[in-house]
Structure 1
Amino acid sequence: MPTRLRFPLFCSTIGGLIIASLRSIVATPDISRLKIERGAAPQVQGQRSRRRRWGRIVLAVVVVGLGASVALGRFAGKTSVETVTVAQAYPAQNYTLLNATGYVVAQRKAALSSKATGRLEWLGVLEGSRVKKDEVVARLENRDVGASLGQAQANVKVAQANLEQGQAELLDAQANFKRTGDLLDQKFIAAASYDTAQARLNKAKANISGYTAAIAAARANAQAAQVALDQTVIRAPFDGVILTKNANVGDNITPFSSAADSKGAVVTIADMDTLEVEADVSESSLSKIRVDQPAEIQLDAFPELRLAGTVSRTVPTVDRSKATLLVKVRFVDRDPRVLPDMSAKVAFLSKAVPAEDRQPVTAVQPAAIVTRDGKPVVFVADADKVTQVAVTQGRKIGELVEVRGVKPGQKVVLAPDPKLQDGQAVAMAKK
């Protein structure tokens, strides 16, 4: 209700209270008249009673009048004002061409599992653990595969022993063939004996080839057994951070099936050096986006954090249902607090933000600044009064104006009345 309407209503209310008080006092019956007069004493008592009654009337009028005057003075002395909050603004707003929202994602991310099927026997990481490339993350139960590897390695040794035996037979056959040839030259043996020695030599040479092939086959079997054993060990494919743990020790890991009470992936890992923001840009605003364009990234989790970025690439297809294009923005500034799946806002800039414009400045709405005695001032509202504060105006940042002399979070009067004075009592208008 406006002040001009509330003031007469308040006065009428106070007047009604005064009249009601007087009526209640005057209407009080005088019991002294019922007494029997016995000389002069009753007359004196009646006079005293009347004086006390009129004294109470006067006192009530004075008290009510004083209260009304104090209340009227306080009520009439306050001016209703509208206030706004002094904010922090970033000069990068002056370079902003387009704003978009999106989420932080990791370009390189993997769900780790084993190619083999088995029971999870050991898990060496937790959520948030940092791992290096080829570091062992988990291991499946592999005693049967280990036994197969041992058998294959033993077969390799057997094949090598057979080769050594064949080499010995080959040396003996070569020596026998040489002796047989010498004896044949001297006519001491028949030609048939020479042919037998030559056949033996050829057989020994053939056995060497067979033993060599057997060794190769045994080594291949051993390698296959080693691969089967390695498949029960889960290693990190790259340097990264464990995001989620999907299985516990004792769970059955079945990566290629969906058996009941089984798990596919053991952990999920992401390379934090490949974090980027995926933002949806309206199809009508694509002309404002280009590759390698500077951008500024703001995280909803840390509003005060502004990170420099650049447009990495655009997905060459438009979402028909939303008429948007997916734009990927790479982080130029890194911060360990940035995590995958965080909500983010991206400001696409006309140029890179200079170093001097990376920090926030104090700003207010232009309507809060007025001129007093030729100087710009604002009226800071504190409790039920205002204080005039001189400020220095700066550049315009969006819809705000940079100022010096006030602090962020303070309340200032919006569009102050020309009659508003320093120290004047005010009432905050409710929005």
Structure 2
Amino acid sequence: MKDLFRLLLSLAAIFILTGFMLTGCSDEAPEPTEEAAATPTVNVGEAIEWRYPSTRQLPGVVSPGKRAVLSTRVSGTLTSVPASPGDRVETGDLLATVDAREVEAAISAAQEKVAAAQAALQQARLESQRLQRLYAEDLIARVRTEQADVRVSELEAQLQAAQSELKAQQANRSYTRLTAPFAGQVTETLLDAGSFVGPGQPLVVLEERGRLQIDVPVSSELAELLAPGQQLSVLSGSDETMTEARLVSVIPALNDQGTGQRLRLSVDDPPEGLRPGQVVSVIVPTQRSGRQDSGDAWVGLPQAALIRRGQLTGVLVVDDSNQQPALNLRWIKTTAPPADAENLIPVTQGLAVGELVVLNPSPALQDGQQVSIQRTDQSLGEE
């Protein structure tokens, strides 16, 4: 019996020891799984060389293609202003009229002078012809015919003067009717009917907005890089709508305090949101080619690879020199891209061509964190 009891105790001890061993093995098994979960996988791409010219954004002021401040050359009361701000008018449409009674009276007086001068000239010519016949019959002296010829010349001059005065008064009558010199939009009427106006006083402002122009102050160095006919991109509005403009000419700044040049751009088919008086941003290239003068290559990155923290811009660079890749938060400098940059942002400092950067970085990623990398099949310049 004692031997049997000892055998049972030995078997029980063996079972208990085996249970402890199995329990210890089950506690250590999850550790590799937790370590694997702490290493995230990131999508990376290789930084490519910037292949576009560098640019700058310069402010420009939009103005209409044509703008006329219309006035009259006569004095009088403004009798009517049929045009209102915002009206579309065609060439020759009536915009305003001035009281023309004095001008009409002057025209009537000039017409009477012309008629009197014509009658007197006709009578003088008949008299000259009569005296010529008498002189031919040797009935009068030569001096009589000469005096008649002088009288005819004097009356011809008086007739010409009367006719010139009549034309001048008729021109003044045309100035009492203010008409549109070109098709456009009335933007302002400066006086109402009943106001007294004088010569040269502005009455109506007319603009042609089917074509707009933009003036951009620019340095002489940048102006030398541009040529008439070149296409430049214009950003307007809060949503930065992009419009193409054509460089018409480079105008020297010749005023007292002016320096540099002024670009004159033309927008032949402006969008609805682009209006005169707006301040827009014009993207101007700062070099002739895509390579920098120093010989250093810039880097092109998509917007999704950038990290914005206040005024700083950075990217997560992957350091794969060790066995386990790690992240390196690096601050960079960027510049404004041209219009045809295919959604790339040019990096001018802080990143080298060929380095790996994280695409669409998660906010949970940290500087120095170890990661597993997965290369994208697309280049950084593609979506």
For 2:140, which of 176, 183, 195 is the aligned residue?
Answer: 195
Which sits farther off after the overlay, 296-305 or 219-228? Answer: 296-305
Tell me the CA shift for residue 268 of structure 1: 1.5
Tell me the CA shift for residue 240 of structure 1: 3.7
Paired residues of 2:134 and 2:140 also in contact (CA < 8 A): no
Specify the SS of the correspondent of 1:365: helix
Residue 335 in structure 1 maps to residue 274 in structure 2: no
Tell me the CA shift for residue 305 of structure 1: 4.0
Paired residues of 1:114 and 1:234 also in contact (CA < 8 A): yes
Residue matched to 1:270: 207
Tell me the CA shift for residue 313 of structure 1: 1.0
Please give the alpha-carbon distance, in whole angstroms, between the structure 2 residues aligned to 1:331 and 1:139: 34
Structure 1 or 2, whichever has the larger Rg, is: 1
Please give the alpha-carbon distance, in whole angstroms, between the structure 1 residues aligned to 2:164 and 2:255: 51
Specify the SS of the correspondent of 1:124: coil
5 Å matches for 1:24-423?
94-106=52-64, 108-133=66-91, 135-178=93-136, 180-181=137-138, 194-195=139-140, 198-255=142-199, 264-272=201-209, 275-281=212-218, 283=219, 286=222, 289-292=225-228, 293-300=230-237, 303-310=240-247, 312-316=249-253, 325=260, 327-335=262-270, 337=272, 338-349=274-285, 364-366=303-305, 397-398=344-345, 414-415=362-363
**Where is the helix percentage greater, Structure 1 or Structure 2?**
1
Please give the alpha-carbon distance, in whole angstroms, between the structure 2 residues aligned to 1:275 and 1:116: 32
Tell me the CA shift for residue 288 of structure 1: 7.4
Specify the SS of the correspondent of 2:202: coil
Amino acid at match of 1:233: R
Specify the SS of the correspondent of 1:334: coil
Tell me the CA shift for residue 209 of structure 1: 1.6
Paired residues of 2:303 and 2:345 also in contact (CA < 8 A): no
Tell me the CA shift for residue 207 of structure 1: 2.5
* Matched length: 260
Please give the alpha-carbon distance, in whole angstroms, between the structure 1 residues aligned to 2:72 and 2:255: 37
Paired residues of 1:298 and 1:307 also in contact (CA < 8 A): no
Determine what percentage of the aligned residue pairs are the same residue.
21
Please give the alpha-carbon distance, in whole angstroms, between the structure 2 residues aligned to 1:229 and 1:269: 22
Residue matched to 2:8: none
Tell me the CA shift for residue 156 of structure 1: 0.5
Amino acid at match of 1:296: S
Paired residues of 1:106 and 1:276 also in contact (CA < 8 A): yes
Paired residues of 1:367 and 1:414 also in contact (CA < 8 A): no
Tell me the CA shift for residue 315 of structure 1: 3.0
In the TM superposition, what whole-angstrom CA distance separates every residue of 1:232-290 from its partner, at most 9, and x where no partner exists?
A: 2333344443222111111121356xxxxxxx311112343663212344x59737753
In the TM superposition, what whole-angstrom CA distance separates every residue of 1:3-26 from its partner, at most 9, and x where no partner exists?
A: xxxxxxxxxxxxxxxxxxxxxxxx
In the TM superposition, what whole-angstrom CA distance separates every residue of 1:201-229 from its partner, at most 9, and x where no partner exists?
A: 33333322222112111112212222332
Tell me the CA shift for residue 301 of structure 1: 6.2
Specify the SS of the correspondent of 1:157: helix
Paired residues of 1:300 and 1:345 also in contact (CA < 8 A): no
Paired residues of 2:225 and 2:288 also in contact (CA < 8 A): no
Give the TM-score, by structure 2 length.
0.56
Give the TM-score, by structure 1 length.
0.51
Tell me the CA shift for residue 109 of structure 1: 2.7
**Pair 1:125–1:414, CA change in 2 (3 A):** farther
Paired residues of 1:313 and 1:329 also in contact (CA < 8 A): yes
Amino acid at match of 1:348: V
Specify the SS of the correspondent of 1:173: helix
Please give the alpha-carbon distance, in whole angstroms, between the structure 1 residues aligned to 2:132 and 2:224: 86
**Pair 1:201–1:244, CA change in 2 (3 A):** same
Specify the SS of the correspondent of 1:310: strand
In the TM superposition, what whole-angstrom CA distance separates every residue of 1:45-69 from its partner, at most 9, and x where no partner exists?
A: xxxxxxxxxxxxxxxxxxxxxxxxx
Give ranges in structure 1 of 5+ residues lacking alignment.
1-92, 182-193, 257-263, 353-362, 371-393, 401-411, 420-431
Give ranges in structure 2 of 5+ residues lacking alignment.
1-50, 290-301, 308-314, 317-340, 348-359, 372-383
Which sits farther off after the overlay, 332-341 or 212-221? Answer: 332-341
Please give the alpha-carbon distance, in whole angstroms, between the structure 2 residues aligned to 1:201 and 1:304: 85
User: How large is the RMSD of aligned CA atoms in angstroms?
Assistant: 3.9
